Structure 1
């Protein structure tokens, strides 16, 4: 009788191909607002607000902003949520060893997601917006600002 307990055992080349497929699949799937947890959504908003105010944004500042909103925030959990947002391409991350901090910035994909959400809420509430930009136009404008 053969032992059929080979679940999860693949040849190395098959395993690598599977990982590559998963990576391409995750890149192809766009993140929607409902894919995120409430804390992740709040983190996007906090980073956006701080950037618009010309303020840098690191984990400490995000944690303080969450605490001001009366949300129970744990630094370890926050780090995990921020890594999810970075992994989904919604935030970018830059380690600053000299200051022992990690700075987070809104990526174009994150900005587009927030803009899409704002437009949806405006539509639901019957609020007319001044000519709405597309996410691509917004990303291009932000890129020009940085240059």
Structure 2
């Protein structure tokens, strides 16, 4: 049906019915979303992962990925890598080796804090505060206060 025809035939009861159907569809979609979900992976490349819970990287790491987590993003293996990727977490990011000498940017964004074993280059954002890393840093915990001091 053409938009002009919809306007011609739309009455108040039809509009109310249409709104009711839209609200029901919205509720069905909202109820279908799972909460407290964990994604467990060993490695990923050129991928996008989204979770309403945590994303747990158990082995090698991620290269050129976009990871979005409502909870935490955690790298477990001591030598796991995060290169050329964009990570966003609703709580904390805990990573091992971030970036590299290739010049491909890596972005870590979290609401609470970002912990790295070693970061070669990239951008770290905690809440609404950001800092760019141009020289390698080791054993760093970034939170609002530490980023304010670096700026």
TM-score after normalising by structure 1: 0.27
| Bigger helix fraction | 1
Taking CA–CA contacts closer than 8 Å with sequence separation of 6 or more, which of the two structures ends up with the larger relative contact order? Answer: 1
TM-score after normalising by structure 2: 0.26
